[in-house]
Amino acid sequence: MPKIKIMRGRQKGQTKRRSIIKDKAIAPYEIHIDDEQYTLIDMDKQKPMGYFTEMHSIIKKITQMNIVSKNEIYTLKEFMTEYNNIKNELTQQFK
């Protein structure tokens, strides 16, 4: 029985098409978009912060990281209020 060659990844020399979202509303992050996923990049650290298949997941991640960076103690109600405020600030201009 002949062996079947399984192709994995891209062929040699092939590159992904990519777009980049740079916006002061999400600074210091950038969102790199290719044909398979969205990648959240921390530009200060030059490091990927996550790989996502949906844009709303990136908004959630940025919102979470903004809250964490404040290094505060919240009640559940305060956390939800702050979370919604940050999320709304990021998405308000698109509604």
Residue 12 within a domain: no
- Tens-digit pLDDT string for the chain (95 aa): 556 555 455 455 556 678 999 998 899 999 999 988 999 999 999 999 999 999 999 999 999 999 998 989 999 999 999 999 999 988 887 66
Residue 8 in domain: no
Number of structural domains the chain divides into: 1
The single residue listed with the structure tokens 């809250």 is: 67
Report the C-alpha gap between 14 and 61 in whole angstroms. Answer: 30
Report the alpha-carbon distance of residue 83 to residue 60 in Å, rounded: 9
What CA–CA distance (Å, rounded) separates 12 from 26? Answer: 34
pTM for the whole structure: 0.72
Closest CA to 21 of 9, 36, 31: 31
Helix or strand holding residue 82 (H, E): helix 76-91
In a domain, 69, yes or no: yes
pLDDT, position 62: 94
